[in-house]
């Protein structure tokens, strides 16, 4: 049935987002995990709702030019109007400095991490994000090691938000000058870890972001 067939449910959820948020209804979100789950779910729902309203399109970049889908389209969230850009960068990234947020947020594009099959829940949001990070980094479109060329191909997400990954790692392990590879080693298969340990100067190439619409759930 897809999202088009569930548009009424999505619309109802978006209406709830418009009324309540951790900022105007803190009693509904008593823990950091509850607030994290809310903001990721809100971002994903608002992005999907905007696509459903504009469908059919081939890319979110068609909905408003020059990234207006993210930068200029405002959504009602807890009585305030925010863009997706504001939610991602000013709320989620600043309030929850954990790089796993980047595999929870989905912008309805092929280059994004796979959309979670269900909304995040406060009781297990951290565990679910951890599982999503393993999944994201196990997909060859996001991480691929070419042993012959001594090159590792990475998703552009790992480049754009590189500072989020390295700063978390430096704080967690009390080191300086961490690299995105250091973070990846926490999740990569043993063979890849051993290769990178033996080839510390392996070349890194970032794969261009795929902005085509991830419309499988929307259209089917």
- φ, ψ of residue 65 to 5 degrees: the values are -65, 160
Rounded to whole angstroms, the Cα distance separating 92 from 88 reads: 5
Rounded mean pLDDT, 182-195: 95
Residue pLDDT, tens place only, 146-156: 999 999 999 99
Q: Cα–Cα distance between 2 and 195 in angstroms, integer?
A: 41
Cite the DSSP H helix spans in the chain: 2-5, 7-19, 32-54, 68-71, 84-85, 93-95, 125-138, 157-160, 162-173, 180-184, 190-198, 216-219
Sheet holding 151-155, edge to edge: 143-146, 151-155, 203-207
For residue 59, the model assigns a pLDDT of: 84
Q: What is the pTM of this model?
A: 0.91
Region 65-83 average pLDDT = 88
Say how many Å lie between the first and final Cα of the chain, rounded.
6
pLDDT at 143: 97
Tell me how crowded residue 118 is: count the other CB atoms within 10 A of its CB.
8
Confidence label for 168 from pLDDT (cuts 50, 70 and 90): very high
What size, in residues, is the chain? Answer: 220
Is pLDDT at 40 greater than 90 in this prediction?
yes
Give me Rg for the CA atoms of the chain: 18
């Amino acid at each position: 049935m897809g999202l088009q067939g569930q548009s009424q449910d999505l619309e109802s959820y978006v209406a709830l987002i418009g009324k309540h948020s951790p900022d105007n209804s803190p009693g509904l979100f008593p823990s950091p995990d509850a607030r994290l789950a809310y903001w990721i779910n809100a971002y994903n729902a608002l992005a999907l709702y905007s696509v459903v309203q504009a469908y059919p399109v081939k890319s979110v970049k068609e909905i408003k030019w020059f990234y207006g889908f993210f930068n200029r389209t405002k959504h009602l969230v807890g009585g305030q109007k925010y863009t997706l850009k504001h939610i991602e960068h000013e709320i989620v990234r600043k309030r929850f400095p954990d790089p796993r947020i980047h595999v929870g947020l989905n912008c309805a594009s092929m280059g994004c991490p796979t959309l979670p099959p269900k909304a995040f829940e406060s009781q297990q949001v951290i565990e679910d994000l951890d599982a999503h990070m393993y999944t994201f980094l196990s997909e060859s479109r996001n991480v691929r090691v070419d042993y012959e060329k001594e090159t590792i191909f990475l998703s552009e997400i790992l480049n754009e938000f590189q500072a989020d990954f390295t700063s978390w790692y430096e704080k967690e392990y009390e080191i300086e000058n961490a690299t995105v590879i250091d973070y990846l080693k926490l999740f990569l298969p043993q063979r890849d870890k051993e290769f990178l340990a033996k080839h510390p100067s392996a070349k890194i190439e970032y794969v261009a972001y795929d902005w085509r619409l991830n419309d499988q759930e929307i259209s089917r």
